[in-house]
Amino acid sequence: MKILVCISHVPDTTSKINFTDGDSKFDTNGVQFVINPNDEFGLTRAMWFKEKQGATVHVVNVGGAETEPTLRKALAIGADEAIRVDAPATDGFSVAKQLANVVKEGGYDLVIGGRESIDYNGGMVPGMVAKLTGANFINTCIGLEIDGTTATATREIDGGKETLKAELPLVIGGQKGLVEESDLRIPNMRGIMQARKKPLNVKEAVDANAETEAVHFAKPAPKGDVKLVETVDELVDLLHNEAKVI
């Protein structure tokens, strides 16, 4: 089984979010980048398929050379090979088109993406890749088993979960639950050394038009100070008469 894990290169959760160039671009100054958390759960599940079922695991990112340390980290966690499509990650659709090309050329059976990236929260790339490549698609995936060419997946739904079955090739939008937080792997020295020798192939971009363009960013208005109250009577009164939420 050939698995492709799509890795989004995103600012660490604790990063200060600021914008530059007249609030038209994200300010990467001093920002630490990491593997998108939803993708890391998927990558860790892919490692399980590699170790238990002999799968080959490739990782891919669409972006400039600055994203390579994030791909190296994925290699250090255990992926066999990395691909960087040398194109700016302009919008979800253009990224999906680049990825679809990688999927078609590589003949992957399973493509694992994240439910959403924690930067632009688009949540659209895995579904679009599936549609563009004609693969089946399952989103918000919290459990995945592969038996031969059949996948059984658990999907989180509002208020519960459901079990779905589909044939490969399959694309999933994964999240926590594919593996648990405690299953995530911190690369060790051996992994880091090996990662340096593993292939990181830079692939030329195909033509991919962006369908959307973020033109302006803004931060929410600063929040007022918390109103501290002494008694529950006061709290209930404020929630009813001031906030009008009960």
126-165 binders of another protein (CB under 8 A):
126-128, 130-132, 136-140, 142, 152, 155-165
Decide whether 28 or 201 has the Cβ nearer to another protein.
28
CB-CB neighbours of 244 under 10 Å:
8
Token match 């632009």: residue?
120
189 binds another protein (CB under 8 A): no
Decide whether 192 or 206 has the Cβ nearer to another protein.
206
| x/- track of binding to another protein for residues 11-50 (CB under 8 A) | x-xx--x-x-----------------xx--x---------
Distance of alpha carbon 117 from alpha carbon 36, whole angstroms: 6
Parallel, antiparallel, or unpaired: how do β-strands 2-6 and 56-62 relate?
parallel
The least CB distance from residue 26 to another protein, in Å, is 8
Question: Up-side HSE of residue 32: CA atoms within 13 Å toward CB?
Answer: 5
The least CB distance from residue 81 to another protein, in Å, is 27
Rounded to 5 degrees, what are φ and ψ at 214? Answer: -75, 120
205 binds another protein (CB under 8 A): no
The token pair at 3 is 């698995």
217 binds another protein (CB under 8 A): yes
CB-CB neighbours of 175 under 10 Å:
20
215 binds another protein (CB under 8 A): yes
